[in-house]
Amino acid sequence: MNNYDVIIIGAGPIGLACGLEAQEAGLSYLILEKGCLVNSLYNYPANMTFFSTSERLEIGDVPFVSNNAKPTRAEALEYYRRVAVHRKLAIHLFETVESVTSQENLYQITTSKAQYSCKSIVIATGFYDIPYLMEVEGEDLPKVTHYYEEPHFYSMQNVLVVGANNSAVDAALETWRKGANVTMVVRSEGIGERVKYWAKPDIENRIKEGSIQAFFNSEVAAIRQHEVDIKTPEGIVTIPNDYVIAMTGYQPNLTFLEKMGIELSQDEIRKPFYDDKTQETNLPNVFLAGVICGGMNTHSLFIENSRVHATHIMDTLKKRFL
Protein backbone atom coordinates (compact mmCIF):
# COMPACT_ATOMS: atom_id res chain seq x y z
CA MET A 1 0.00 0.00 0.00
CA ASN A 2 1.39 3.40 -0.94
CA ASN A 3 -1.51 5.47 0.35
CA TYR A 4 -1.67 6.51 4.00
CA ASP A 5 -3.63 8.67 6.41
CA VAL A 6 -0.34 10.07 7.64
CA ILE A 7 3.32 9.87 6.66
CA ILE A 8 5.85 10.79 9.33
CA ILE A 9 9.21 12.10 8.13
CA GLY A 10 12.03 11.19 10.53
CA ALA A 11 12.46 8.21 12.89
CA GLY A 12 13.96 10.15 15.77
CA PRO A 13 12.38 9.83 19.22
CA ILE A 14 9.58 12.23 18.27
CA GLY A 15 8.86 10.63 14.89
CA LEU A 16 8.61 7.30 16.71
CA ALA A 17 6.30 8.85 19.32
CA CYS A 18 4.07 10.06 16.46
CA GLY A 19 4.09 6.57 14.92
CA LEU A 20 3.04 5.01 18.24
CA GLU A 21 0.17 7.49 18.63
CA ALA A 22 -0.96 6.94 15.02
CA GLN A 23 -0.90 3.18 15.54
CA GLU A 24 -2.85 3.51 18.80
CA ALA A 25 -5.42 5.73 17.06
CA GLY A 26 -5.93 3.22 14.23
CA LEU A 27 -4.65 5.57 11.52
CA SER A 28 -2.74 4.10 8.57
CA TYR A 29 0.77 5.50 8.84
CA LEU A 30 4.36 5.08 7.67
CA ILE A 31 7.56 6.51 9.10
CA LEU A 32 10.27 7.40 6.56
CA GLU A 33 13.84 7.77 7.81
CA LYS A 34 16.85 8.71 5.73
CA GLY A 35 19.36 6.98 8.02
CA CYS A 36 19.25 4.26 10.64
CA LEU A 37 16.69 4.13 13.44
CA VAL A 38 17.06 7.20 15.71
CA ASN A 39 19.77 8.37 13.33
CA SER A 40 20.68 11.54 15.27
CA LEU A 41 21.16 9.64 18.53
CA TYR A 42 23.23 7.06 16.68
CA ASN A 43 25.55 9.85 15.56
CA TYR A 44 25.93 11.36 19.06
CA PRO A 45 29.27 10.80 20.85
CA ALA A 46 29.61 7.14 21.85
CA ASN A 47 29.96 7.83 25.59
CA MET A 48 27.33 10.56 25.77
CA THR A 49 25.05 10.79 28.82
CA PHE A 50 21.66 12.48 28.53
CA PHE A 51 20.84 15.39 30.84
CA SER A 52 17.27 14.10 31.15
CA THR A 53 16.35 11.25 33.46
CA SER A 54 15.18 8.16 31.59
CA GLU A 55 11.45 8.48 32.35
CA ARG A 56 11.47 11.89 30.62
CA LEU A 57 12.69 10.26 27.40
CA GLU A 58 9.95 7.62 27.36
CA ILE A 59 7.53 7.39 24.45
CA GLY A 60 4.25 5.50 24.04
CA ASP A 61 4.06 4.80 27.80
CA VAL A 62 6.83 2.21 27.53
CA PRO A 63 9.06 2.33 30.62
CA PHE A 64 12.71 3.26 29.97
CA VAL A 65 14.81 1.43 32.54
CA SER A 66 18.30 2.79 32.95
CA ASN A 67 21.07 1.68 35.32
CA ASN A 68 21.71 5.25 36.39
CA ALA A 69 19.60 8.36 36.91
CA LYS A 70 20.80 9.75 33.56
CA PRO A 71 20.74 7.24 30.71
CA THR A 72 23.56 6.85 28.20
CA ARG A 73 23.40 6.95 24.42
CA ALA A 74 23.83 3.16 24.32
CA GLU A 75 20.83 2.70 26.64
CA ALA A 76 18.74 5.13 24.59
CA LEU A 77 19.56 3.30 21.33
CA GLU A 78 18.56 0.03 23.01
CA TYR A 79 15.35 1.57 24.37
CA TYR A 80 14.08 3.17 21.15
CA ARG A 81 14.98 0.06 19.13
CA ARG A 82 13.12 -2.21 21.55
CA VAL A 83 10.08 0.07 21.42
CA ALA A 84 10.08 0.20 17.59
CA VAL A 85 10.54 -3.56 17.19
CA HIS A 86 8.20 -4.62 19.99
CA ARG A 87 5.40 -2.35 18.79
CA LYS A 88 6.03 -3.38 15.17
CA LEU A 89 6.18 0.23 14.02
CA ALA A 90 5.93 0.66 10.23
CA ILE A 91 9.25 2.27 9.34
CA HIS A 92 11.27 2.43 6.15
CA LEU A 93 14.91 3.11 7.01
CA PHE A 94 17.58 4.54 4.70
CA GLU A 95 14.92 6.21 2.57
CA THR A 96 15.27 9.99 2.24
CA VAL A 97 12.25 12.19 1.61
CA GLU A 98 13.28 14.37 -1.29
CA SER A 99 10.18 16.35 -2.17
CA VAL A 100 6.56 16.89 -1.27
CA THR A 101 3.86 18.17 -3.59
CA SER A 102 0.10 18.44 -3.21
CA GLN A 103 -2.76 17.54 -5.50
CA GLU A 104 -6.37 18.08 -4.52
CA ASN A 105 -6.60 16.83 -0.92
CA LEU A 106 -3.61 14.52 -1.08
CA TYR A 107 0.12 14.99 -0.63
CA GLN A 108 2.60 13.17 -2.87
CA ILE A 109 5.91 12.25 -1.31
CA THR A 110 8.94 11.35 -3.41
CA THR A 111 11.76 9.56 -1.64
CA SER A 112 15.10 8.15 -2.72
CA LYS A 113 13.31 4.84 -3.31
CA ALA A 114 9.59 5.27 -4.00
CA GLN A 115 6.51 7.50 -4.18
CA TYR A 116 3.69 7.68 -1.68
CA SER A 117 0.49 9.60 -1.27
CA CYS A 118 -1.09 10.57 2.03
CA LYS A 119 -3.77 12.75 3.54
CA SER A 120 -1.42 14.32 6.07
CA ILE A 121 2.27 14.68 6.90
CA VAL A 122 4.21 15.04 10.13
CA ILE A 123 7.66 16.57 9.75
CA ALA A 124 9.92 15.44 12.60
CA THR A 125 13.29 15.98 10.96
CA GLY A 126 15.21 17.34 13.97
CA PHE A 127 18.26 19.61 13.78
CA TYR A 128 21.35 17.39 13.63
CA ASP A 129 21.98 17.22 9.88
CA ILE A 130 23.72 20.48 9.07
CA PRO A 131 26.70 21.58 11.18
CA TYR A 132 27.48 25.27 11.57
CA LEU A 133 30.69 25.83 9.66
CA MET A 134 33.54 27.99 10.95
CA GLU A 135 34.10 29.12 7.36
CA VAL A 136 37.89 29.17 7.70
CA GLU A 137 40.69 28.00 5.45
CA GLY A 138 41.39 24.29 6.00
CA GLU A 139 37.97 23.39 7.44
CA ASP A 140 37.56 20.82 4.66
CA LEU A 141 40.73 18.91 5.64
CA PRO A 142 39.99 15.29 6.67
CA LYS A 143 41.44 15.97 10.13
CA VAL A 144 38.48 18.28 10.92
CA THR A 145 35.25 16.75 12.20
CA HIS A 146 31.92 18.21 13.24
CA TYR A 147 30.74 14.87 14.65
CA TYR A 148 32.85 13.63 17.55
CA GLU A 149 32.58 9.89 18.19
CA GLU A 150 34.91 8.58 20.87
CA PRO A 151 38.22 9.50 22.54
CA HIS A 152 40.71 6.64 22.04
CA PHE A 153 41.49 7.69 18.47
CA TYR A 154 42.90 11.02 19.72
CA SER A 155 45.27 9.56 22.30
CA MET A 156 48.74 11.22 22.27
CA GLN A 157 47.61 13.71 19.58
CA ASN A 158 47.38 17.51 19.57
CA VAL A 159 43.64 18.12 19.56
CA LEU A 160 41.83 21.42 19.14
CA VAL A 161 38.25 21.46 20.41
CA VAL A 162 36.14 24.36 19.15
CA GLY A 163 33.16 25.49 21.25
CA ALA A 164 32.20 25.55 24.92
CA ASN A 165 28.83 23.84 25.16
CA ASN A 166 28.01 20.27 26.17
CA SER A 167 29.43 18.50 23.14
CA ALA A 168 32.66 20.49 23.18
CA VAL A 169 33.15 20.02 26.91
CA ASP A 170 32.52 16.26 26.68
CA ALA A 171 34.96 15.97 23.76
CA ALA A 172 37.64 18.01 25.55
CA LEU A 173 37.39 16.09 28.83
CA GLU A 174 37.18 12.65 27.23
CA THR A 175 40.10 13.11 24.83
CA TRP A 176 42.23 14.70 27.57
CA ARG A 177 41.49 11.71 29.85
CA LYS A 178 42.69 9.38 27.08
CA GLY A 179 46.00 11.19 26.81
CA ALA A 180 45.39 13.83 24.14
CA ASN A 181 47.02 17.25 24.41
CA VAL A 182 43.85 19.35 24.33
CA THR A 183 43.37 23.03 23.50
CA MET A 184 39.96 24.70 23.44
CA VAL A 185 38.98 27.72 21.37
CA VAL A 186 35.93 29.50 22.72
CA ARG A 187 34.22 32.50 21.15
CA SER A 188 32.70 33.71 24.43
CA GLU A 189 34.43 34.61 27.69
CA GLY A 190 33.65 31.37 29.52
CA ILE A 191 32.25 27.84 29.43
CA GLY A 192 28.59 27.73 28.35
CA GLU A 193 25.88 28.17 30.98
CA ARG A 194 23.93 25.16 29.66
CA VAL A 195 26.78 22.72 30.25
CA LYS A 196 25.69 19.76 32.41
CA TYR A 197 26.08 20.62 36.11
CA TRP A 198 28.53 17.79 36.71
CA ALA A 199 30.72 18.59 33.68
CA LYS A 200 31.05 22.38 34.12
CA PRO A 201 33.23 22.40 37.28
CA ASP A 202 35.24 19.51 35.85
CA ILE A 203 36.22 21.42 32.69
CA GLU A 204 36.71 24.72 34.54
CA ASN A 205 39.08 23.08 37.00
CA ARG A 206 41.03 21.32 34.23
CA ILE A 207 41.49 24.71 32.53
CA LYS A 208 42.40 26.44 35.81
CA GLU A 209 45.06 23.86 36.66
CA GLY A 210 46.47 24.11 33.10
CA SER A 211 45.76 20.51 32.06
CA ILE A 212 43.62 21.79 29.20
CA GLN A 213 44.60 25.06 27.54
CA ALA A 214 41.74 27.38 26.62
CA PHE A 215 41.61 30.52 24.50
CA PHE A 216 38.50 32.52 25.35
CA ASN A 217 37.12 35.42 23.26
CA SER A 218 38.92 33.66 20.42
CA GLU A 219 38.24 32.03 17.07
CA VAL A 220 39.96 29.61 14.73
CA ALA A 221 41.59 31.66 11.96
CA ALA A 222 43.10 28.92 9.75
CA ILE A 223 43.72 25.18 9.81
CA ARG A 224 46.73 23.55 8.15
CA GLN A 225 47.97 19.96 8.11
CA HIS A 226 50.19 20.26 11.20
CA GLU A 227 49.11 23.49 12.92
CA VAL A 228 46.25 25.91 13.49
CA ASP A 229 46.07 29.69 13.77
CA ILE A 230 43.91 31.05 16.56
CA LYS A 231 42.71 34.66 16.58
CA THR A 232 42.96 35.75 20.23
CA PRO A 233 42.53 39.19 21.84
CA GLU A 234 46.35 39.30 21.96
CA GLY A 235 46.71 38.53 18.24
CA ILE A 236 47.22 35.39 16.16
CA VAL A 237 48.62 32.37 18.05
CA THR A 238 49.85 29.35 16.07
CA ILE A 239 49.95 25.96 17.79
CA PRO A 240 50.80 22.44 16.62
CA ASN A 241 47.73 20.41 15.70
CA ASP A 242 46.80 16.92 14.53
CA TYR A 243 42.98 17.02 14.77
CA VAL A 244 40.20 19.59 15.07
CA ILE A 245 36.92 18.64 16.74
CA ALA A 246 34.56 21.48 15.80
CA MET A 247 31.61 21.34 18.17
CA THR A 248 30.04 24.47 16.73
CA GLY A 249 26.44 23.27 16.79
CA TYR A 250 23.93 22.18 14.19
CA GLN A 251 21.03 23.75 12.34
CA PRO A 252 17.75 22.30 11.08
CA ASN A 253 17.08 21.93 7.37
CA LEU A 254 14.63 24.81 7.09
CA THR A 255 15.01 24.96 3.31
CA PHE A 256 13.14 21.65 3.19
CA LEU A 257 10.19 23.31 4.96
CA GLU A 258 10.35 26.43 2.80
CA LYS A 259 10.33 24.37 -0.40
CA MET A 260 7.11 22.75 0.78
CA GLY A 261 5.56 26.18 1.34
CA ILE A 262 5.72 26.29 5.14
CA GLU A 263 5.99 29.86 6.41
CA LEU A 264 8.92 30.84 8.63
CA SER A 265 9.30 33.93 10.81
CA GLN A 266 11.26 36.74 9.17
CA ASP A 267 13.72 37.20 12.08
CA GLU A 268 16.95 35.26 12.60
CA ILE A 269 15.15 32.42 14.47
CA ARG A 270 13.17 31.55 11.30
CA LYS A 271 10.62 29.78 13.46
CA PRO A 272 8.15 27.83 11.33
CA PHE A 273 4.53 28.86 11.65
CA TYR A 274 2.32 26.32 13.43
CA ASP A 275 -0.69 26.24 15.71
CA ASP A 276 0.42 25.57 19.32
CA LYS A 277 -2.59 23.37 20.04
CA THR A 278 -2.53 21.13 16.97
CA GLN A 279 1.04 21.58 15.62
CA GLU A 280 -0.51 22.23 12.18
CA THR A 281 1.42 24.55 9.84
CA ASN A 282 -0.04 27.02 7.35
CA LEU A 283 -0.42 24.03 4.99
CA PRO A 284 -3.57 22.06 5.76
CA ASN A 285 -2.82 18.66 7.35
CA VAL A 286 0.93 19.27 7.45
CA PHE A 287 2.22 19.17 11.04
CA LEU A 288 5.55 19.77 12.77
CA ALA A 289 6.82 17.74 15.71
CA GLY A 290 9.94 17.77 17.85
CA VAL A 291 12.95 19.99 17.81
CA ILE A 292 12.33 21.28 14.25
CA CYS A 293 9.47 23.42 15.65
CA GLY A 294 11.98 25.80 17.25
CA GLY A 295 13.56 26.86 13.94
CA MET A 296 17.11 28.07 14.53
CA ASN A 297 16.45 28.09 18.27
CA THR A 298 17.43 24.44 18.63
CA HIS A 299 17.66 24.54 22.43
CA SER A 300 14.04 25.41 23.22
CA LEU A 301 12.64 21.96 22.40
CA PHE A 302 14.10 18.56 23.09
CA ILE A 303 12.79 15.05 23.62
CA GLU A 304 11.30 15.52 27.06
CA ASN A 305 9.26 18.64 26.25
CA SER A 306 8.23 17.77 22.69
CA ARG A 307 6.97 14.19 23.14
CA VAL A 308 3.56 15.73 23.69
CA HIS A 309 3.41 16.96 20.06
CA ALA A 310 2.61 13.38 19.02
CA THR A 311 -0.60 13.34 21.07
CA HIS A 312 -1.68 16.79 19.88
CA ILE A 313 -1.25 15.81 16.22
CA MET A 314 -2.86 12.38 16.35
CA ASP A 315 -5.83 13.65 18.42
CA THR A 316 -6.44 16.16 15.63
CA LEU A 317 -6.08 13.57 12.87
CA LYS A 318 -8.39 11.12 14.67
CA LYS A 319 -11.11 13.75 14.65
CA ARG A 320 -10.54 14.52 10.97
CA PHE A 321 -10.04 11.10 9.43
CA LEU A 322 -11.75 8.49 11.63
Ligand X SMILES: Cc1cc2nc3c(=O)[nH]c(=O)nc-3n(C[C@H](O)[C@H](O)[C@H](O)COP(=O)(O)OP(=O)(O)OC[C@H]3O[C@@H](n4cnc5c(N)ncnc54)[C@H](O)[C@@H]3O)c2cc1C
101 and 108 in contact (C-beta within 8 Å)? yes
Instruction: Give the residue, chosen from 27, 30, 32, 161, that forms a contact with ligand X under the rule CB under 6 A.
Output: 32
39 binds ligand X (CB under 6 A): yes
For ligand X, the closer of residues 125 and 316 by Cβ is: 125
Our finding on whether 51 is near ligand X (CB under 6 A) is yes
Burial class (CB in 10 A: 0-12, 13-18, 19+), 195: buried
Given 5, 8, 13, 215, the residue binding ligand X (CB under 6 A):
13
Count of residues touching ligand X (by CB under 6 A): 32
Q: Is 117 helix (H, G, I), strand (E, B) or coil?
A: strand
Q: What is the DSSP annotation of 135-158? A: --BTTTSTTEESS---SGGGTTSE
Q: Segment near ligand X (CB under 6 A), from 38-46, 139-147, 154-162, 214-222?
A: 38-46
Strand ranges (DSSP E) for 198-306? Answer: 213-215, 219-223, 227-232, 235-240, 243-246, 250-251, 286-288
The answer to whether the beta carbons of residues 65 and 54 sit under 8 Å apart is yes
Please tell me whether residue 48 binds ligand X under the rule CB under 6 A: yes
CA distance 133 to 214: 20
Q: Provide the greatest CA pair distance for the chain.
A: 67
Closest CB to ligand X among residues 5, 33? 33
Q: Which residue in the set 19, 84, 116, 126 belongs to the binding site for ligand X (CB under 6 A)?
A: 126
Enter the DSSP assignment of 278. T
Stretch that binds ligand X, among 37-45, 150-158, 183-191, 210-218 (CB under 6 A): 37-45
How many CB atoms neighbour CB 315 within 10 A?
14
**Nearest one of 139, 245, 259 to 184, comparing CA atoms:** 245
Site string for ligand X, 143-182 (x = CB under 6 A): -----------------------xx---------------
Stretch that binds ligand X, among 5-13, 100-108, 134-142, 187-195 (CB under 6 A): 5-13
Q: Is 252 in the site for ligand X (CB under 6 A)?
A: no
Stretch of residues binding ligand X (CB under 6 A), selected from 125-133, 199-207, 226-234, 267-275 = 125-133
The residues binding ligand X (CB under 6 A) are: 9-15, 32-35, 39-40, 44, 48, 50-52, 96-97, 124-126, 128-129, 166-167, 290-291, 302-304
